[in-house]
Structure 1
Amino acid sequence: MTSDNHTHDRELQQDARAWADFTGTKYTAALRQMGSPLAQGLLGERVSARHLIATLDQHAVIGARGGSPRLGENGFRSEATWRFDRETDFIELALITDMLRMFTPIPDSATPEVGSYSLKHTAEEFLAPHCSYVSNGRLIWAAAALGLPVADPGGSGPNLLIGVPEREHDYVRRMTGSGQTRPKADHHRPAGYEYLQSALARAAAGERIAGAWVRPAPVAVSAPFHDWLVLQVGRNDVIGDLAGDYVAGVRDSDHRVARTPDELLAIFHVVAHSPEAYDAVVSAIAEWMRTVPSAAPVRTEPIRGGEHDHGGWGAGAGTVERYEYRCPCGDGAIVEEHDNVPGFREHDVRIDCSKCDVEWAFVGGRSVRDWGLQPVAVNATT
């Protein structure tokens, strides 16, 4: 037996003895829980039973610190004693801890916003069927032991506020909760969400997860158009109204972030909107392009197209290409054609939509294959 294995086994045994004494469990039953694949630590180090027990006495908010218990099965200031089944209690706390680990830690200076009672229901939904019930008290206990910010909102209730991002929690709640409207975008998905789902299934099958999960480093993605549009919130005009609706949609995961005008148009092709809202989009893009003259022109998403052989007109065979892209309003198309036939080499791109043909124009100085659009209003004089 290697030194590392010996140390690991000794820690499991020490934890099992502590847990058995604390819960009134037989040592062998406690040791089985310590060694369960589901308690191995799926998103971090294995949870220490001794640390969990110490948290109930020493934690700054929930710790008894030598006095009467401040945390019980029903939550903070709960007089309900812990109800240990002596078979799965530690495993469930380990699973709750991993569920909390998947969220992005909030700064210590930030005020926690997510209520423990709401979070405990989310934990139940996410961890099912591996953990059928999560009490309010155990959710708070795991959060405190993990070192997440925990705050008392005041009053005399049993719920505390837990330091996980409110938007990430809302995403998980809506993805896992029955009867919820699922998010349509994933920018608020917790970093560990997909990995933990996979690891839970593997651990439930008895697998030991090799290698530690590493939280991805935050990546700054340039989104100048998004940043500009956010700054327009509060304006007393159609662009201000558009910006407010857009920000609400990003906040609620109703659509993705529009890093460019192209992506804002793509959003409007899949969400319900009024003609007035689309007109506001065109106005916003025109203003953006006037504000940032170096901004790239708009390219819309492809619809269909391809290349086919052509026998030619006597000077040899060739090919003909035809590609269609969605027009900005979504009701027509941008048609790009290339005749690659000897003697008839022609290239053309046109707007096949009566509305967009009036409101949009091709940017000059670009090849047919490199076409780009801008609102006619960009160059309009005031």
Structure 2
Amino acid sequence: MTSNNHAQNRALQQDARKWAAFTGTKYTAALRQMSSPLAQGLLGDRVSARRLIATLADHELIGARGGDPALGENGFRSEASWRFNGETDFIDLALITDMLRMFTPSSATATPEVSSYSLKHTAEWFLTPRCSHVSNGQLIWAAAALGLRIAEPDGAGPNLLIGVSEREHDYVRRMVGPGHTRPRAGHYRPAGYADLQTALAQAATGKRITSRWVRPAPVDEVALFHSWLILQADRNDPVGDLANDYSAGVHGSEHRIAHTPDGLLAIFREVPHSPEAYDAVVSAIAEWTRTLPSPQPIRTERIGGDSHHHEGWDAGAGTVERYEYHCPCGDGGIIEEHDNVPGFRKHDVWIDCDRCRAEWRFVPGKSVRQWGLEPIPAGVTT
């Protein structure tokens, strides 16, 4: 036996003795829980029973600190006694802790926003069938032991506010909660969401998790167009209305973030919208391009096309290429053609949509293969 395995076994035994004494169960039953694959830490270090017990005693908000218990089964200042079944109570707390680990913790300066009561239901839905009942007290206990920020809301009650990302929690709640509309975009999906689902499935079969999940470092994405559009939400005009609707859609994960104007056009091809809303999109993109010294041309997604062999016209064989792209409004297309046949070489691209021909033009100076679009300035005819 290696010294590392010996240390791990000793830690499990010490935890089992403390948990057995704390819960009034047998040592062997406690050790069985400590040794369960589900309690080995699926998104981090193994949950320590001694840490959990110490949290109830010493935590600055929920700890008894020598007085009466501040946390009970039903929540903060609950008089309901803790219910320990001697079979899964510790495993349940370990699973709840891992569920909380997948969320991004709130910063030290941010006020916690997510209710423990709401989180406890989300934990039940996410962890079922391995842990189908989570009490309000268990959720608060696990959050405190994990070191998440915890605060009292205005008004007395058993629920506390937990310092995890409100938008990430909303995403998970809608993904797993019965009767909820599932998000259409994943920009608020917690970093550990898929990893925890995979680890839960593996641990449930008895497999131990050998690789440790590492929370990815925060990445400050440069999304200048998105940031600019959000700032237009206070305007009292069609672009302001568009920005309001766009902001609400991002917040509710109804659609993805538009990092560029191309992305905004793609969103509007995927969601229902009025003609007036599309007009506001064109106006917003035209206004955005005027703010930049060298705006990036619009390039829409390719939706079809191919290249085929051609026998030629007595001067040799060649190829003919034809590709189709979305037009900005989505009702027509942009056609790009290349006749690579000796004696009949031709390259062309055109907008096959009456509406878009009136609102967009090709950026001059670019080759047919590198085409790009820009809004036609007001008062300019083509």
Which TM bucket (shorter chain)? over 0.9
Alignment gaps of 5+ in structure 1: none
Q: Distance in 1 between matches of 2:131 and 2:326?
A: 47
Partner of 1:270: 270
Partner of 1:47: 47
Partner of 2:10: 10
Q: Percent identity?
A: 73
Counting only pairs closer than 5 Å after superposition, residues 300-315 of structure 1 correspond to structure 2 as 300-315=300-315
CA RMSD after TM alignment: 1.1
Contact 1:286 1:378 in 2 (8 A): no
Query: Per-residue CA shift, 1:96-119, capped at 9, x if unaligned?
Result: 000000111111111000000000
Contact 1:78 1:158 in 2 (8 A): yes
Q: Distance in 2 between matches of 1:36 and 1:243?
A: 50
Q: How far apart are residue 130 of structure 1 and its match?
A: 1.0
Farther off after superposition, 202-211 or 167-176:
202-211
Q: Distance in 2 between matches of 1:75 and 1:262?
A: 49
Q: How far apart are residue 380 of structure 1 and its match?
A: 4.6
Counting only pairs closer than 5 Å after superposition, residues 1-382 of structure 1 correspond to structure 2 as 1-377=1-377, 380=380
Q: Distance in 1 between matches of 2:88 and 2:380?
A: 70
Q: Distance in 2 between matches of 1:67 and 1:42?
A: 34
Alignment gaps of 5+ in structure 2: none
Question: Helix, strand or coil for the counterpart of 2:290?
Answer: helix
Q: Distance in 1 between matches of 2:154 and 2:34?
A: 36
Q: Distance in 1 between matches of 2:283 and 2:343?
A: 43
Structure 2 vs 1, CA of residues 379 and 373 (structure 1 numbering), >3 Å: closer, same or farther?
farther
Q: Distance in 2 between matches of 1:150 and 1:98?
A: 17
Supply the AA of the counterpart residue of 2:28: T
Q: Distance in 2 between matches of 1:379 and 1:60?
A: 67
Query: Per-residue CA shift, 1:310-350, capped at 9, x if unaligned?
Result: 11112111111000001000000000000011111000000
Supply the AA of the counterpart residue of 2:35: G
Q: How far apart are residue 378 of structure 1 and its match?
A: 6.7
Q: How far apart are residue 42 of structure 1 and its match?
A: 0.8
Q: How far apart are residue 377 of structure 1 and its match?
A: 2.1
Q: How far apart are residue 164 of structure 1 and its match?
A: 0.4
Q: Distance in 1 between matches of 2:13 and 2:358?
A: 77
Q: How far apart are residue 293 of structure 1 and its match?
A: 3.1
Question: Helix, strand or coil for the counterpart of 2:259?
Answer: coil
Q: How far apart are residue 188 of structure 1 and its match?
A: 0.3
Contact 1:362 1:372 in 2 (8 A): yes
Q: Distance in 1 between matches of 2:204 and 2:219?
A: 32
Question: Helix, strand or coil for the counterpart of 1:377?
Answer: coil
Supply the AA of the counterpart residue of 2:308: H
Q: Distance in 1 between matches of 2:304 and 2:121?
A: 45
Question: Helix, strand or coil for the counterpart of 1:233?
Answer: helix
Question: Helix, strand or coil for the counterpart of 2:243?
Answer: helix
Q: How many corresponding residue pairs? A: 381
Q: Distance in 1 between matches of 2:200 and 2:191?
A: 15
Query: Per-residue CA shift, 1:47-105, capped at 9, x if unaligned?
Result: 11011011111101111111111111111111110111110000000000000001111
Q: Distance in 1 between matches of 2:43 and 2:95?
A: 10
TM-score (normalised: structure 2):
0.98
